[in-house]
Amino acid sequence: MSLTDRNQRLRANYLATAIILAAVLVLVWGMLSPVTGQEQTLNPLGIEIVGPHELLTGSRAALRVVVTDHQQKQPAAGALVSIRLSALDTPHTRQLFVGRTDTKGTLQAGFGIPNLEPGSYDLVIRARYNEFRDSLTQRITLKRVYQVLLTTDKPIYQPAQVMHIRALALKRPNLHAVTDTPLILEVADARGNKVFKQTQQTNDFGIASVDFQLADEVNMGRYTIRAIIEDQETEKKVTVKRYVLPKFKVTLTTDRDYYLPAEDVQGTVQADYFFGKPVAGGDVQITVKTFDVEYTEIAQIEGKTDGEGTFDFEVRLPTSFVGQPLEQGKAFLEFEVKLTDAAEHSETIFKTSTVAASHIMINAVPESGNLVPNLENRVYIMTTQPDGTPVSATLELIEATGSDGEQIRLSEVVRVTDEMGMATVVLQLPGLASGFWLAPGRACEAFGPGIAEYPGADSQRLHCGKGNSIAHRSPTRRRQHSVAYRGCPLRRW
């Protein structure tokens, strides 16, 4: 390499180094120099919004806007806020709301969403406070949601019958009728094969209907009917099978709506043909069941109807039952009646009845949900018969239960429920009490036809405290059944 080339390379290196040093100096000087000029002043306004990202077209919406002055470190009270809606492919905006913030810099904005096409839009929020302005853009999605009621004239069809299908389309959330809109109605058989499809325009009431003729030979089973409007789908299931219409009607009536253990149930079975003639000489089979952990058969009765199509029966109930949680501790009976006429045609019906521990049910609910010791507790009390009929009764507060299980005697408080079986008691329990006991008084007023007095030996007590169990104690058995109960536990003593 010659001396000239070496000198040229050194000059080039010096020049590059000088340029780099000059750029660094300019950058450092810009960072260290004070900010001057209105155009370089940071905007002190801050905008925060709270609201949904998806809105329904044609509905009302709410948005919370918070404007803060960071320079003064305080809410921007009285700031002017505007909310506008803009489509993605157009610069034009639609004003939705204009208002001012309160003393906390907050604006609760309520506005209507235009009936626009579904899709993505920009929600533009602009704020002006003193000489400062700021804006915020939030991407939202507008949706159109329909509620479709799909009905048929009956739930079961036979081959060669006609399905009458109707759909009612409403727009949410205002539930206005969806008018003049294409709605597709489809039918698929039990194997999933699409056997029918037709498009109808909804009328002024949002209704579209079609008739579908079933063939003589079709796939039996559950058919699926679909109503499709835009991209939303509603389904309904119907059954297609061969069946025989019932030839007579069977009814079962019992002497009472509820029973106690060990009582006698008296009932009547009545069978009549639909053309009016009674089913005389029909074979009757009655199965009486109850439920503990599974269905248990109590009795089975057989006989024949008389010339009027009537069969009377009587059965004695067991001395103990297991209460069910969903029935508020009450048990239930199920009567299965099967009747066969002379032509060997059979009909089966079911009827249920209630079994309770006593003639009166007491429910107590503390106002606060729990009892608080050494404070006044307002307790709402309701007395009813097991079938739900209100009972006007006299109640006695007899004792409280301590946290260690010890019984604490209290001064007797008597309350009488009104005609609706409702009463309110204000109690102040000792600090050691965890609950209290209620029992019907010796004389209860009119809580059942033919019953003028509640027998004290069969008194029903209700303990309102921390426990959650129901116990029905049989007078003839020492076994005690316990089940869960939501509310105050009920114990029969």
- The fold for domain 45-143 equals Immunoglobulin-like (2.60.40)
pLDDT value, residue 30: 58
pLDDT value, residue 311: 96
Cis peptide before 173 (omega within 30 of 0): yes
- pLDDT digits over 154-182, tens only? 999 999 999 999 999 999 888 899 999 99
Neighbours of 5 (CB within 10 A): 9
Q: Which CATH class is domain 361-492?
A: mainly beta
pLDDT value, residue 20: 77
pLDDT value, residue 489: 32
pTM, two decimal places: 0.52
pLDDT value, residue 464: 46
Domain ranges of the chain: 45-143, 146-240, 248-355, 361-492
Are 146-240 and 361-492 in the same CATH fold? Answer: yes
Residues of the chain with pLDDT under 50: 35-40, 441-493
**Assigned CATH for 248-355:** 2.60.40.1940
pLDDT value, residue 170: 94
pLDDT value, residue 439: 55
pLDDT value, residue 236: 95
- The fold for domain 146-240 equals Immunoglobulin-like (2.60.40)
- pLDDT digits over 382-406, tens only? 888 888 889 888 777 655 555 555 5
Q: What region does 238 belong to: left with phi over 0, alpha with psi -120 to 50, or beta?
A: beta
